[in-house]
Amino acid sequence: MEIITDIRECNGTRCAATIGSFDGVHMGHRAMVAELREAAIAEGLPLTVVTFARHPRLLFDGECEPFLLTTNSEKAALFEEMGVDRMVLLDFDSCMAAMCAKRFMREVLADAIGVRLLGVGYDHHFGKPCEGEGFEQYAAYGKELGIEVMRLLPYTMDGGKVSSTVVRKALNDGNFTAANALLGHAYRFSGTVIKGACIGRGLGFPTANIQPDEVMKLLPSNGVYEVDALLNGERIKGVMNIGTNPTVRDCMLRSIEVHLLDFSGDIYGTEITVEPVRRLRGEVKFGSIDALKLQIGVDVARVRRGI
Is pLDDT at 91 greater than 80 in this prediction? Answer: yes
- The pLDDT, as a whole number, for residue 202 is 66
pLDDT tier at 97, thresholds 50, 70, 90? confident
Structural domain includes residue 170: no
In angstroms, the CA 111 to CA 27 distance is: 30
Burial grade of 78 (CB within 10 A; 0-12, 13-18, 19 or more): buried
Structural domain includes residue 181: no
Structural domain includes residue 169: no
| CATH number of the domain within which 8 lies | 3.40.50.620
- The pLDDT, as a whole number, for residue 70 is 97
Which tens digits make up the pLDDT trace of 158-198?
888 899 999 999 999 999 999 999 999 999 999 999 987 76
Same domain, 85 and 198: no
Q: Could you tell me how far CA 286 lies from the centroid of its own chain?
A: 34
**In terms of residues, how long is the chain?**
307
Same domain, 24 and 99: yes
| CATH number of the domain within which 194 lies | 2.40.30.30
Q: Name the phi and psi angles at 280, rounded to 5.
A: -90, -45
- The pLDDT, as a whole number, for residue 295 is 94
Same domain, 11 and 150: yes
Is pLDDT at 235 greater than 90 in this prediction? Answer: yes
Name the domain boundary from 145, 161, 177.
161
Structural domain includes residue 171: no
Which tens digits make up the pLDDT trace of 280-298?
999 999 999 999 999 999 9
- The pLDDT, as a whole number, for residue 129 is 72
Q: Considering the chain, what is the average pLDDT of its residues? A: 92
Structural domain includes residue 6: yes
Same domain, 46 and 137: yes
Please state the rounded mean pLDDT for residues 125-137: 79
Same domain, 101 and 10: yes
Is there a contact between 179 and 171 (Cβ–Cβ < 8 Å)? yes
- Look at the chain and report how many structural domains it folds into: 2
Which tens digits make up the pLDDT trace of 8-23?
898 878 999 999 999 9
Of these ranges, 47-51, 96-100, 133-137, 249-253, the one predicted with the greatest mean pLDDT is: 47-51
Query: Domain residues for 265?
Result: 188-305
